[in-house]
Each structure stands twice: as C-alpha cells, then as structure tokens.
Structure 1
C-alpha cells in the first residue's frame, strides 16, 4: 500500500508539474522561433482554450472522486464528459465565428480548444484510475504527454516556423495518448456499459453546477485583461502581456504547494470548532507568501527583466515597474486563494459565487477604463488591480464568514 502511495505521489506530482509548465515552454518556443505577433496569437489562444477546458471539465474530478450517489457510475461520468467536451467545442467555434478572427488566428484558437477538450476527456479516465488507486497511471500519462508535446513542438516549430502545424501536432499527440494509453489502461479496471438512466446525466450536471460556475468565473476574471487587449490592441501587445504576467504563475504555483499540506489540518480544526488554530494556520501560510516578497521583489528588480529578455529574446526594459507590480499582485492573489480555499473548507460556497460575480463586474470596468486609455501598460496595471481587488474583498469576506461560522457552531 505504501509503495502504491509513493508511486501515486511521485508520478502525479511530476505529471502535474510538467503539465502546469507546458504553456511556459510553448510560449518561449513560439517567441523564439516565430514572430512576436505569433507569440501574441498563441498566448491568447492558449488562455482561451484554458477557459474552454473549464466548460469541458464542467466540475472536473470534484464529484467523481467523492462519489456518494450510487446512480453516478463510471460510465455516467464518461458519457457526461464527452457531452460537456462536445458542447465546449461548439462554444469555441461560436466564439471564433462571432469575433471574425483572421483565418490563421482562428485555426490556432480552434486547434488549442480541441486539445483542451481532449484533455478534459482524459481527465475523466484519470478520475476512474484514481478511484481504483491507480493515480500513478494518470501521472505517467501527463508526464509522457507533456514531454512528447514539448519536445515535438520544439522540433516541428523549428523546422516549419508554422504555428498551425505545430499546434496540429499537439492535437495528434493528445488523440494518440487518449486512445492508446488513457482509455486502454482504464479499460483494464472497468467496462463501459450503459448502466445509468438519462435523467442521471441531468442530475450530475445539476449537482455539480455550483463548482462549475465558481471555477469558471474565477478563470474568466483572471483572463479578462487578455480579452480587452485583444479588442483594443494588437497581437504583439498580447505577447508582451503574456511574457510580463508569466512570472505570476510561479508565485501562484508556490502558494499551492504551501497550502495543500495544510488542507487536512484546516478541515480537522473546523470539525473541532478550533477557531484559534484555524485562523493561526491561515495566518502562517499568508505570512509566508507575503513575506517571500522580501526576497522575490529585490531579485526580480535586479534580474527579472534581464532573465526574461534572455529567455524570450524581446526588449522589455521599460516594463520593469509593471513586472514588480504583477509579482506583488500575484502574492496578494495567492493569499486570497488561501482564504478562498479556507472558506470552502468551512462550506462557504454560495457567498463566494456572489462575491466572484461582483469581482467580475468590477474587473470588466477596470479593464475597459485602463486598457482603453493606457494601452499595454493599462493591461498590466489592470491585472495588478484585479489581483489586489481579490485580496481586499476576500480578506473582509474571510473575517466575516469565519467569525459567523465558528461563533454559531
């Protein structure tokens, strides 16, 4: 049992980490081998495909791995995921048609959206493997897929300098891994049979609708500046935004690694109504995240722009202050994400959805005003403003909800 747990942890951590950094590797490759305009197209297309991925996932593995309803079988999850992936693909087609993008940009967006829909389909098989204590197989799938995708993308883009051909390669890889590895390995533990009612699909979609709406809203908020840049500015500006905002990803991933080990402790404190230790744990994590800026910001001030210019081969010296703002904003957002997940632990769901909708409305206003008037600088400042807004609102929400929940119970 312990060996299986170690295998699960190793392969899942490796696969998830590589998978998380795929977009960084792809962006570096496109910026180096293609034009800055192509890099902007890819950055925007990848972000859009990420949102489409949330439509396809709907609620991901949240309900799948914590299944308490006997009518929710593995076959039901698979069929439902194929349906949500299909509708997500339709949404991406409608999005491209409505916006009337040039053919090459439209094709890149659609190819990456299909890739993300296929990733969502793979995820349902990962959930089944996890349910059978075979998470390491899913981790291997993500590892192999990430390595094959990045290495092949480098070779093909270097040879062709064609973004469409390179993205088509990613599509082929995802289809091959899904059919030859994911489905094949999952079939060893289950047989896909129609052992559910059609009404069960509707029920599954309904009970997981909150998680879907919540995660989708958060993702849309984080990508809002990209869409206003796409509307008001050009693809080269989109590339600059993608490069300068990329370091924020590392801060956010750092926060996830710090927070996850404390999740069980927070749950235990809540069950014991231990408000003091619950708040103390959240405070410690938040202090580490904000305190890390004492080291990270000076390093970014000295080496941030030179490193980004070395990696991407683009002149960025005039964006130093915005880089520091983005990194600081990412720290604030990381803390707000800790508060967000802590509120989920104490079953604060409905309130958070209303809060995210409020933040979405305010963020639309911020992006419109700043990007329309200040251009790419406004785009970067709007990103910082949204991250800071999340932090301020969640700080007040956390204090209010925690006091109400613990005092009541």
Structure 2
C-alpha cells in the first residue's frame, strides 16, 4: 500500500513538475520571439543580453538554497529562517543589479531594461523559497501548478503590453510589478496550508544557512557566468543583432535541460534519503538511469535539430539563420553535457559536497574568462559555441570525478 502511494505521489509530482518547468523554460523563448517580431533584431539583442544578465544576478537572489532546502529532510533549519534569508538575498540582488549597471556604463535605455528585467527575475527567487518547502514536503505537484500559473500570466501580460505600447522598458516594468503581486498572493495562500509564514531574524540559523549555502551560491553564480561568457564576448566584439542570433540558436539547448529536469528534480529528496541511509546501490542505480535518459534526450534533440532546427527557428523568429546550423549542433551537444552538469550539481548538493562544487566552477570560470573572448574574437558565433561546449564538458568531467570519488570512499 505504501509503495503504491509513493508511486502515486511521484507521478503527480513528475506531471506537474513537467508542466511548471515547461512554462518556466519556454517563457524566455516566447518573450524573445515577440520582442524580435515586434521591436526588431536590435532591441531583441538588448533584451537577450539583459535577460542573461538578470539570470546571472538571480543567482544572488536564490543563493543556491533550493536543492539544500528541498533535501533538508530532517528540517534542521525552520522555514521562517529560509524565508528571512530570501528577503535578505532579494535586497542584495536588487542592489547588485544597480551597482552592475552603474559600473558597466550602459546607455540609459539598456540600463533601464536590464534593471526592470532583474526585478522580473527576482520573482523567480521569491517563489523559489516557497517551492523549496513544497518539494521538501513532497508536494512538488503544487509547486508545479503555481510555477505554471505565474509564468503563464507573465507571458500573457508581457505580450499584451508590448503589443499595445511597442515600448520594451514599459513592458518589462509593468510585467514585473504584476508578476510580483501575483506570485506573492498565490504562493502565500498555498504555503499557509503547510506551514505558518513568519520571519525569523535569529542570527545562528541565518548564519548557518548563509555559510552552508555560500559555496552553492558562488558555484551557481559562476555556472551562469560560464554559460553566459560567450554572450558577453559577443556584446564586446559583435553587434546586438548577433546577440539575437546566438540567443535563438542557443534556445534549443534548454530543451535538453528542460526534459532532463523533469525526470530528476522529483528524485532529489529520494537521493538524499538513500545517501543518508547508506543505500548506495539504489543511489547509484537512480543516477545511472538518469544519465541514460539525459543521453537519449540529447541524441533525439540533436537529430531533430539537424533535420529541422534551422528552418523552424528561422520561420518562427523571422530571421535568416541558415549559416548557423553547425553552431546549433555544437550548442546542443553542450546542452547535453550541461544537463549532466546540472544533475551532478544537484546530486553533490544533496550529499552536502558544496565545496567540491565550488572548486569545479572556479576552475572552469577561469577558463571561460580567458578563452571565451579569444574564441569569439577569432571565430565569432562558431567560437562562442565552441566555448560553451568546452566549458560544459570540463564541468561535467570534474563533477563526475568528484561524485565517483565520494561514492568509492563510503562503499
């Protein structure tokens, strides 16, 4: 009876995690599509760079806590401390975005758009702490529903305002404001059914959270920096139109991450329990199956993209991408390794190997900082694609070696 009930819970969590993650992942793709169609390639390039920057600064807002919170199966830290820490990190996120915009000396238009999109992405950080609690309580199904609802509203509001105003800044500003209000209303309502919502400014639990998750925060930040390094190199050496082209052909790589995340996110708590209870055979079996699924998804997506990817993307976005077929395939292969990295990152977090994660990201971040500009300067978009693939392969290799070492150590 318990096994049947566990399977039922997993199926519901899997289904709604798929729906929620799908809406969350396609949001940026759909928004870029309408910006490209309504405002043109140049504005879409600014939007793409702003979105990448906001995604990077979002790492401050999330502080790498989601996997840590979801796998805190013994509830060593109260939810009140988690939500208080999120208030602090969101304030840090906004201040960081202002500092970044000032020191980067962007034009007024680009600076305002980056700031408003950072506010919009802060919504992800706000809801993440509520969804971490729901996942911890095996209610990922509710989290998926809320994630889908919020992203659906964001997409609709953004498209309507952009269509009526033709102004990217006003669109981002009003979409961000409406999304924050909607996010708070629906998440607070459902979370109250599980746990009382209150702030706890006690020093010790907050200190423990920020210290324990610091390697995860830095690792996540460096991860996003590594994957966005080619975009910053493109912004330095090429025009905004090429930023748009790269972003469009990069989008399908998210498909691999998206479908992979569908599979493994509901299993993170199970993996943490297996590790804590020394069920290493079951732990290894789950990870091997997940790697096989990621490999299969990667092969299928690459095959489909080779045959239909460029014509379909050119048709959808209304731009000529036919010279970038090779770049698309390279990015998709990098996306496959990237999905493997994301899986290993979550597994290493669930077994509390945060420092090992940080070391891996530091090494590859140094590589990306040095070589991404060189690759782009020499080979333009092809160089950007090679940079992304190389960084993903390096991270995957390092994380896999760390996991194997830790498994052998306790076996």
Shift of 1:154: 1.8
> Where does residue 45 of structure 1 map in the other structure?
50
Residue by residue, what CA displacement relative to the aligned partner does 1:270-302 show, whole Å, maximum 9, x if unpaired?
Answer: 855656x76565455434433555544343222
- 1:253 counterpart = 2:258: yes
Q: Is the 8 A contact 1:85 1:118 kept in 2?
A: no
Q: What's the offset of the Cα at 1:204?
A: 2.6
Tell me which of 239, 258, 281 is aligned to 1:234: 239
Question: Is 1:309 matched up with 2:317?
Answer: no
Q: Does residue 213 of structure 2 align to residue 204 of structure 1?
A: no
- 1:299 to 1:206, Cα distance in 2 relative to 1, 3 A: closer
2:170 counterpart (165, 168, 175): 165
What is aligned with 1:105? 110
- Within 1, Cα distance between the matches of 2:120 and 2:333? 32
Cα distance between partner residues in 2 of 1:188 and 1:400: 42
Partner of 1:357: 362
Count of aligned pairs: 404
Partners of 1:335 and 1:391 within 8 A in 2: yes
- Does residue 22 (structure 1) correspond to residue 24 (structure 2)? The answer is no
Change beyond 3 A, Cα 1:241–1:188: same
Taking the aligned partners of 1:74 and 1:338, their CA distance within structure 2 comes to 25
Structure 2 SS opposite 1:208: helix
Q: Kindly report which structure 2 residues correspond to 1:298-377, keeping only aligned pairs within 5 A, or say none.
A: 298-344=303-349, 347-377=352-382
Q: Deviations over 1:148-205 (max 9, x none)?
A: 2112222222222221122123212212213433334445665555655244433332
Distance 1:294 1:99, change over 3 A: closer
Change (3 A) 1:177 1:396: same
Question: Is the CA contact (8 Å cut-off) linking 1:28 and 1:312 kept in structure 2?
Answer: yes
In the TM superposition, residue 224 of structure 1 has moved relative to its aligned partner by 1.4
Question: Are 1:183 and 2:168 matched, yes or no?
Answer: no
The answer to whether residue 212 in structure 2 is matched with residue 217 in structure 1 is: no
Tell me the CA shift for residue 211 of structure 1.
2.2
1:267 Cα deviation from its structure 2 partner:
6.1
Secondary structure at the residue paired with 2:260? helix
Aligned to 1:156: 161
Instruction: Please report how far the alpha carbon of residue 5 of structure 1 lies from its aligned counterpart in structure 2 after TM superposition.
Output: 7.3
C-alpha RMSD of matched pairs (Å): 3.2
**Change over 3 Å in CA distance of 1:151–1:9 after alignment to 2:** same
TM-score (norm 1): 0.86
Counterpart pick for 1:117 among 113, 117, 122:
122
SS in 2 for 1:375: helix
User: Structure 1 regions of 5+ residues with no counterpart?
Assistant: none
Provide the secondary structure at the position in 1 that maps to 2:319: coil
Q: Which structure is richer in relative contact order (CA contacts within 8 A, separation 6 or more)?
A: 2
**Aligned partners of 2:195 and 2:276: how far apart in 1?**
37
TM-score, structure 2 as length reference: 0.86
Q: 1:141 to 1:153 in 2, by over 3 A?
A: same
- The alpha carbon displacement at 1:117 in A equals 1.9
**Residue 392 (structure 1) shift:** 3.8
Q: Which moved more, 1:255-264 or 1:371-380?
A: 255-264
